[in-house]
Amino acid sequence: MVKRAFYQIMVSGQDISSRFNPLLIDIRISDREGTHSDTASIRLDDREGRIALPRTGAPILIMLGWEGFGAASVFVGTVDEVKSSGSRGGGRELAISAKGVDTEGTSKQPQQKHMDNKSAQEALEEAGRTAGITSIKVDPSFAGHRRDWWGLNEESFLHFGERLARELGGIFKVRGSEAILAAKGAGSATGLAMGSVAGRYGDNLISWDISPTMGRPRHRRARARWYDQKEAKWKDVEVDIKDQGAHATMGDRFSRADRTEAQGSANNGAKDSERERGGGSAAIDGNAAAKPGGVFILTGTRPGIDGAYRIEGVEHSYSRAGWTTKLDLKQPQAGQ
């Protein structure tokens, strides 16, 4: 029995899937770990020019699934751009682009603000209120991190969150009115591991292109420098990296204000080195359970390649030909 994929699109709370059915060319969703915003694009046959243009800023939800198994959400965001294209002999198309963060909202607005003796959770919540962010989720290992001073000098909430993630060794992302600061490798802001998806040769695995180990990104330890005001001298913080085959030390190009910030920077470098030591890509039959931060388990290809990899990015492609999911993979686990 041939599997049949289907989709559902909601714009401003209205299901418009049936209107798009005879016109849809394809749907593409990109969801990446970290600071990149989720994106979606919908291409439609606009030969008669009768499609109503959705307004920018309109909330949009896209779901994908297989008949008999239901559908699941793969994108939540707002319409960012609507573009018409065509030529004299080539017909007309309408492209609807959307982003996970509201590009018309105040999250991109620069702020002049400082916060004294606040935790990372409290600082993000205070900056988020100005940006219209109603929910802040911070990994438990970061939430209680306290500093004497936090500041935004003509810096937007988005930039502040990204900077904080780099300093603490985390991943920052905004989806709609929710912001998430998760620890690298933790999977989610709750500290709980994300789910896993499998790719089996001869079953749902379409293709793979993987290098389980690469030399250049690998290091034995990460180091960051900070200035001790009490002792009036520079000091170093070093973090060991779980990679016995590497020998070099990774250095932070920037000096840090105190030991806590230097520790976060060194941790960040260590996690980056662990993540980048190998990886590649794989394509499978469409699977909405594939999420950045989750685990991909590859089987049936060959010894040394089969095993678990961390998912860094997910791209869903839907058309009349079917639904596929491409995975960007990093951080091979033990065994590859």
Domain boundaries, the chain: 5-99, 106-183, 196-213+278-330, 221-272
Spatial CB neighbours of 278, under 8 Å, sequence gap ≥ 6: 210, 211, 212, 213, 214, 330, 331, 332, 336
Whether 224 contacts 236, CB under 8 Å = yes
Find, among 267, 335, 284, 281, the residue nearest to 310 by Cα. 281
Tell me the C-alpha distance between 86 and 44, whole Å. Answer: 12
User: What homologous superfamily does CATH list for 196-213+278-330?
Assistant: Bacteriophage T4, Gp27, baseplate hub, domain 3 (2.40.30.150)
Topology classification of domain 106-183: Phage tail protein beta-alpha-beta fold (3.55.50)
Nearest to 205 by CA among 290, 313, 330, 292: 290
Report residue 271 as tokens.
């996690």
Report the SS3 class of residue 207.
Answer: strand
Burial code (b: 16+ CB inside 10 Å, e: under 16) for 107-121 equals beeebebebeebbbb
- Count CB atoms within 10 A of the CB of residue 13: 8
| Closest by CA position to 51, among listed 9, 1, 6 | 9
Residue 50 pLDDT: 81
Triad 149, 151, 156: Cα angle to 5° = 155
Pairing of strands 221-228, 249-251: parallel
Please tell me the distance from the alpha carbon of residue 284 to that of residue 287, in angstroms, as a whole number.
Answer: 8
**Furthest C-alpha separation in the chain:** 75
Between 2.40.340.10, 2.30.300.10, 3.40.640.10, 2.60.120.380, what CATH number should domain 5-99 receive?
Answer: 2.30.300.10
pLDDT recorded at residue 15: 94
Decide the pairing of beta strands 279-285 and 205-211.
antiparallel
Averaged in consecutive runs of 10 residues, what is the pLDDT profile of the chain (336 residues)?
87 92 94 78 90 89 94 92 88 92 83 90 91 88 86 90 85 84 66 76 96 74 86 86 76 80 78 76 96 91 92 94 95 69
Give the C-alpha separation, 187 to 33, whole Å: 10
CB-based contact 182:170 (threshold 8 Å): yes
With a CB cutoff of 8 Å and minimum separation 6, the contacts of 154 are 110, 111, 112
What's residue 122's pLDDT?
92
Q: How far does Cα 52 stand from its chain's mean position?
A: 31
- What's the start-to-end Cα distance of the chain, in Å? 35
Look up tokens 């990109």; give the residue.
30
d(CA 214, CA 243): 12
d(CA 179, CA 107): 10
| Ramachandran bin of 91, using left for φ above 0, alpha for ψ from -120 to 50, beta for the remaining angles | left
329, 309 in Cβ contact below 8 A?
yes
